[in-house]
Every structure is written in C-alpha cells, then in structure tokens.
C-alpha cells in the first residue's frame, strides 16, 4: 500500500508531503463511499394525493405510472411492489387505454401504491421507496368540513396525510373557468376546503413547523383537455382513446386564467411551503409541438418531479 502511495505521490504530487497525499486520497475515497452508500440506501418518501370527489386523482396517479412504463419519463425507472399495487396499476392502465372511466375510490381503499423508484443517472442517481396515498374524494371533503377532531384523528387517511412527505392537491380545471354560478361556487368551495385541509394537517403536525414548510406541495390542475372552448382540436391518434391536441399558446392563456381564478389558494400554499409548485395536466391531452406518434401526456413528469426530493449536485447532502 505504501509503495502505491509513493508512486502516486511521485507522479502526481512530486513536491507534496506524503501525509498530505494520504489525506487527499483518503478524502476522495470517503466521498466516493458516501456516494455509493447514497445510491444503495433507498430514501422512504410518501406522497398524499388529496382532492374533492371526481377531480381525477386516481386517473392522475395511473397516468404517471403509465408514462413511466412506456418510457416517456426517461430519467425515472420504477418497480412496483406488492401484488395489490401490481394488479391495480395494470388493471387501471388497461381501462384508461380502452377509454373507460376508473370507478370512484371508496372508503375501504385508501390505496397506498408502493414502488421502488430510481431517478437521475450515474453518481447522482437516487433510490426511493415511494408510497403514493390515493385518497377517496368523499373523505377528503370530510377532512375539510368536519369539525370533529376525534373523528379526524381516527381516520387512516388523516394519519397518512400528517405523516406524508409531499402533497398533491388536485383541482378539476374543467369545473373552474366557465364563469357561470356553478363554476364560481365550485371555485370558492375548492379554495376554502383545500385551505382548511392544510390547516388541519398543520394543526396536527408534531415535528415542528419548519419541517412542514420544507415539504413539497403541488397544486395540480387536471382535465386541461376538457376545456373545449379553450384547448381545441381532437387528435388524429388512432386507437380507442381520442387524445386532445393542446396548442402551447392557448395553453399559456389557460394557465394564466387558472392561476388568476385560484390566486388566493396559490398565495396561501406559497406562504406555507418553500417547495410549492403549480402543474397543469391531462390524462388524455398531448402538446401540439410533440412529434407525430409521441403521446406524452401533459404535465405528468413535471407533477411527479415536483413532489420528489430535489437531487442536489452536492457530495455531502
Ligand atoms: N377529460 C378528462 N377527464 C378526466 C381526466 N382525468 C380524470 N378524468 C375523468 O374524471 C372522472 C374522475 O376521475 P377519477 O380519477 O376517478 O377521480 P378521483 O378524484 O380519483 O375520484 P374519487 O376517487 O371518487 O375521489 C372520470 O370520469 C375520469 O375519466 C383528464 O385528464 N381529462
Ligand atoms: Mg379515486
């Protein structure tokens, strides 16, 4: 070993002290070991998907999986864990491909999707043990409107939400911007119930407020394709599902309008989390700028990466 050190020393650092060279090589070796350890040890990460009934939560989670499996999210690889998750994800992807609706998520099935995920490449890749909690819409509504704290503490969904590492609040964009009374009522209800949901999670949070502030929150607008007046033409893709082709310039107007309608909630979440994002998604919509045959669904990759821990290019994070 000493001989090897001497050789490296003489070649690379002819004027340096051998002890210094030893320290340098030792440090490089430790840094390398830390990187290898980080690659090996998966980080547990749970994501709560919360939203009013029928906003598109289950469809969103299923579409994210479908995008990963069809290799449209190249930087992410994923292995489903457990018979239940494997069966549900594959059954639901098949239903979406046939153009069928997914049924409402019911009480019994707060569904925790389990998967191992690898993001990034080479030395900066990270492994996660991911759990995605798909909440039944009915209970999310109760979560917001109930004043019975004891009842809240008993629900498995609430326990789950308190302990989650990241939060997706899902909003059905197609209900928001028609301008009629129904849309205005829906908007007001969404803003107030989502704010109340977060306040209740915060109220029960035990690890200190600062930690909660660092957790990612994303407000996800779903069903952008269903804004017919704004978004436009049917796609020419053949198959059971007729995708909508969404024009970028129209999309940016829609995004501005949705941000404006939801400005109070966006302002609230921004003040509550240092990692707040807004995403615009569609399980059946693709961007007009994509090459023919590319069926990448709008906003899925951005939504997923917004709630994963950030990969920092630092050796000692
Ligand atoms: N056009 C369109 N429809 C969608 C989209 N996402 C979901 N939907 C439809 O919205 C309805 C509700 O979808 P789900 O995914 O079951 O909604 P959910 O929030 O899980 O519903 P609950 O479990 O009952 O709370 C279904 O009819 C879906 O087909 C979308 O991106 N575009
Ligand atoms: Mg559901």
Residues 93 and 106 in one domain: yes
Ligand 1 touching residue 241 (CB < 6 A):
no
Residues 57 and 17 in one domain: no
Amino acid 11: pLDDT: 56
Atom 12 of ligand 1, nearest CA residue: 54
For residue 42, with 0-12 CB atoms within 10 Å meaning exposed, 13-18 middle and 19 or more buried, which class applies? Answer: middle
Atom 14 of ligand 1, nearest CA residue: 56
Would you give the DSSP letter of residue 78? E
3-state class (DSSP) for residue 17: coil
How are the residues of the chain apportioned to helix, strand and coil, as percentages rounded to the nearest 5?
A: 50, 20, 30
- Residue 174 is assigned to a structural domain of this protein: yes
Identify the domain containing residue 172 by its residue range. Answer: 42-306
Ligand 1 touching residue 297 (CB < 6 A):
no
What is the rounded average pLDDT for all residues in the chain? 81
Q: What is the CATH number of the domain that holds 248?
A: 3.40.50.300
Atom 29 of ligand 1, nearest CA residue: 101
- Residue 4 is assigned to a structural domain of this protein: yes
Residues 33 and 134 in one domain: no
Residues 112 and 34 in one domain: no
The span from the CA of 34 to the CA of 316, in Å, is: 8
Amino acid 238: pLDDT: 44
Amino acid 300: pLDDT: 95
Cα 285 to ligand 1 centre (Å): 13
Nearest CA-CA partner of 59 in 51, 131, 308, 138: 51
The span from the CA of 193 to the CA of 274, in Å, is: 21
The span from the CA of 55 to the CA of 189, in Å, is: 13
Residues 145 and 245 in one domain: yes
pLDDT tens, 107-166? 665 688 999 988 877 777 888 999 999 987 766 666 666 555 555 555 677 778 888 999
Classify residue 31 as left (phi > 0), alpha (psi -120 to 50) or beta: alpha
pLDDT tens, 162-211? 889 999 999 999 999 877 889 999 999 999 989 988 988 888 876 666 68
Atom 8 of ligand 1, nearest CA residue: 56
Residues 29 and 144 in one domain: no
Amino acid 236: pLDDT: 46
Ligand 1 touching residue 218 (CB < 6 A):
no
Q: What is the mean pLDDT of residues 72-89?
A: 89
In this structure, of 99-113, 118-132, 232-246, the range with the lowest mean pLDDT score is 232-246
Amino acid 237: pLDDT: 45
- Residue 312 is assigned to a structural domain of this protein: no
- pLDDT score of 228 more than 70: no
Residues 154 and 183 in one domain: yes
Ligand 1 touching residue 54 (CB < 6 A):
yes
- pLDDT score of 260 more than 50: yes
- Residue 132 is assigned to a structural domain of this protein: yes
- Residue 100 is assigned to a structural domain of this protein: yes
Residues 22 and 85 in one domain: no
Give the confidence band of 2 by pLDDT, cuts at 50, 70, 90.
low
Return the higher-pLDDT residue of 95 and 313.
95
Among 59, 142, 229, 241, say which to mutate for ligand 1: greatest number of ligand atoms within 8 Å of CB: 59
Tell me, yes or no, if the pTM score tops 0.85: no
Residues 235 and 162 in one domain: yes
pLDDT tens, 276-309? 999 999 998 888 888 877 889 999 999 999 998 8
Amino acid 139: pLDDT: 64
- Residue 315 is assigned to a structural domain of this protein: no
Q: What is the mean pLDDT of residues 28-47?
A: 73
Residues 155 and 215 in one domain: yes
Domain count, the chain: 2
Rounded to an integer, what is the distance from CA 100 to the centroid of its chain? 24
Ligand 1 touching residue 101 (CB < 6 A):
yes
- Residue 314 is assigned to a structural domain of this protein: no
Residues 35 and 87 in one domain: no
Ligand 1 touching residue 58 (CB < 6 A):
yes
Residues 49 and 124 in one domain: yes
What is the distance in angstroms between the CA of the first residue and the CA of the last residue of the chain?
Answer: 31
- Ligand 2 is an ion; its neighbours by CB within 5 Å are 57-58, 105
In this structure, of 10-14, 37-41, 53-57, 222-226, the range with the lowest mean pLDDT score is 10-14
């Amino acid at each position: 070993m000493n001989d090897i050190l001497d050789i490296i020393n003489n070649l690379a650092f002819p004027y340096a002290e051998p002890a210094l060279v030893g320290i340098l090589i030792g440090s490089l070796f430790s840094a390398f070991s830390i990187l290898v350890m980080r690659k090996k040890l998966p980080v547990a990460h749970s994501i709560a998907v919360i939203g009013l009934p029928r906003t598109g939560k289950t469809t969103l989670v299923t579409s994210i999986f479908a995008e990963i499996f069809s290799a449209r999210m190249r930087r992410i690889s994923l292995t489903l864990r457990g018979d239940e998750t494997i069966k549900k994800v594959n059954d639901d992807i098949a239903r979406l491909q046939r153009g069928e609706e997914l049924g409402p998520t019911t009480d019994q099935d707060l569904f925790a999707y389990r998967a191992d995920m690898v993001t990034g490449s080479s030395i900066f890749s990270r492994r996660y043990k991911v759990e995605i909690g798909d909440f039944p819409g009915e209970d999310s509504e109760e979560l917001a409107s109930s004043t019975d704290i004891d009842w809240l503490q008993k629900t498995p969904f609430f326990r789950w939400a308190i302990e989650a590492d990241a939060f997706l609040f899902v909003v059905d964009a197609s209900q928001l911007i028609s301008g009629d009374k129904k849309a205005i009522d829906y908007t007001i209800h969404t803003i107030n119930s989502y704010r109340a949901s977060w306040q209740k999670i915060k109220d029960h949070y035990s690890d200190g407020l600062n930690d909660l502030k660092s957790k990612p929150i994303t407000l996800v607008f779903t069903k952008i394709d269903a804004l017919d007046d704004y978004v436009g033409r049917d796609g020419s893709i053949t198959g059971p599902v007729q995708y909508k082709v969404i024009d970028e310039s129209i999309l940016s107007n829609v995004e501005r309008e949705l941000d404006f309608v939801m400005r109070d909630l966006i302002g609230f979440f921004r003040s509550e989390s240092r990692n707040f994002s807004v995403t615009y998604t569609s399980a059946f919509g693709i961007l007009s700028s994509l090459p023919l045959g590319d069926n990448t669904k709008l906003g899925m990759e951005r939504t997923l990466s917004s709630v994963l821990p950030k990969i920092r290019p630092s050796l000692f994070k």
